[in-house]
A = this chain, B = another copy of it.
Amino acid sequence: MSIVLINPNSTASMTAAMLHGARLAAPDLVFDGWTSHGGPPAIQGAADGALAVPPLLELVREASNMGASGIIIGCFDDTGLDEAREIAACPVIGIGQAGYHMATLLAGRFSVVTTLGVSVPVLRANIDAQGFAPHLGRVRASEVPVLALEADPDAAHTAILRETRAAMAEDDVRCVVLGCAGMVDLPVRLSAETGATVIDGVTAAARLMAALAGLHTAPAAQLLPQV
């Protein structure tokens, strides 16, 4: 069966872009992309996240029932990740979580560049809760709204490049995790421009799903975390 990438917001073009990125990153896996039509158009901050969870969990349950071999939650806030892990009979990875694991393994220490300042406390809380605080430089906002990533990509790139350079100069890091699902196309160019290792969460999640695929030594039901 396939890995189902669920976009908790209702913007279908973002689902398509994430799906494309996941397929490039892990060509041996089969991905399906589902859009949560009941979610907000873009998740920015804790209030949006709370609204997005119930329809997201419906899709998680449906994907699990249809036999998905893995689920990726396609929002850098790791919206509903803990709840999804409780109800799914397969591994569930958040793209924020995936970016932190990869940055820790590759570089030991990292900063995050996200969209608006309203997302900063959400990401910091996730990093604390997931145990990555010892590896964190800083969570930085580029003040580029999610939907502006598609609408005005040049201005978005300029702002994110500026924050990436600031992270290298001020945060004592050489690795930056891009804190938004809509930034899946940016790492190659940003890395060439700055010399930093730049990681996006979709690519990270797709490659970690491929890595997990070789470890399934227990029946799927036993992959459920304790409740």
Contact (Cβ within 8 A) B217 A25: no
Report the copy number of this chain in the oligomer. 6
* Tally of A interface residues using CB under 8 Å: 61
Shortest Cβ distance from A28 into B: residue: B28
Is there a chain B Cβ closer than 8 Å to A14's Cβ?
no
A211 CA to B205 CA in the complex, in Å? 10
Is there a chain B Cβ closer than 8 Å to A204's Cβ?
yes
Is there a chain B Cβ closer than 8 Å to A124's Cβ?
no
Give chain A's interface residues, CB within 8 Å of chain B. Answer: 1-2, 13, 16, 19-20, 23, 25-26, 30, 32-33, 66, 85, 91, 93, 97, 101-102, 104-109, 129-135, 172-174, 187-188, 191-192, 195-199, 203-204, 207-208, 210-212, 214-215, 217-219, 222-226
Give the top 6 A-B pairs by smallest Cβ distance, nearest first. Answer: A131-B131, A108-B225, A191-B217, A211-B211, A207-B211, A197-B218
